[in-house]
Amino acid sequence: MDQKNERIDVGRTSYEALVFSKTVVKKGASLHDAALKIEEFISKKGYGLSFPVNLSINNKAAHYTPGMDDKSVFGENDIVKVDLGARKGDLLGDCAITIDLSGNNAHFVQTAEDALDAAIHLVKAGVEVRAIGKEIEKVVKQQGYSPIVNLGGHGIEGEELHAGSFIPNFDNGDTTKLEEGQVISIEPFITNGEGRVIESSEIQIYQKLYPAMPRSKEARQIQEIIDKNYLTYPFALRWISKDIPGMSEFGIRRGISELVALGCLEEFPVLVERSGGIVAQAEMELIVEKDSCTVITKA
């Protein structure tokens, strides 16, 4: 199987996991259990994970995955962004949907999907990324919402999920042109709020940057687990808890803090809409072609 077909296979599995997520993201269901089931769905198909499944609710836009001892459940009025990706070697999947548990926000959720569809129809080699952002912004504002201006799509290159081109959700003036064969995600984030996200104090996801020589036993153990199981791909604190069952949450956080201080790990704080607005997201991964594109995160 050539790399393009392998990439399409990874994309298809990612999309299947996204569809599966609709069966476990339910009112009253545990976030921790839902994340585990979605990640197990991917692993049972023989794939790794591009990153921990994100289950970002309401004004949380991105980077929320359940914690080590997370007891929270989905509420009846929650708007849940499910963002995930399967991985095969260094081929990474990435896609997202928004699930409205209230049933009262169909227009809001559909606007994100419509903006994504409109943007995908523009994609081909030579198109400036600003034009994609302009189209997303037009669709979103016509429906009375705002695009989130400091989030967007991205290039995907090798082991890097966010590499190369940034694909904006508004016309940011960037004249960078898409290239044939380039792999990108288009990722409209929309809100009924201000349209900008900020970092919160909550962090559940990390990624190794450089090796370190930590002093504490906890940090050394954690680094060994990262090197063995996660390499340079993002991981969740709850994964470390599973891998080192005898280590307390305090010990894990202390070890992680030491590795961060040493410059070994990058942190991914939960991103929240600055004004408290609700956020919806839609995302697909695709390959840029000469005259169109191939969407790979689909059935």
Annotated catalytic residues are 83, 94, 154, 162, 187, 283
Secondary structure (3-state) at 294: strand
Strand partners, 207: 266
C-alpha dihedral sign at 21, 132, 11, 266: negative
Distance CA 276, CA 285 (A): 28
Distance CA 237, CA 202 (A): 12
**Contacting residues for 258 by C-beta, under 8 A, at least 6 apart:** 214, 215, 216, 218, 219
CA end-to-end span of the chain: 18
Q: What count of other Cβ atoms lies within 10 Å of the Cβ of residue 66?
A: 22
Secondary structure (3-state) at 267: strand
C-alpha dihedral sign at 223, 93, 242, 240: positive
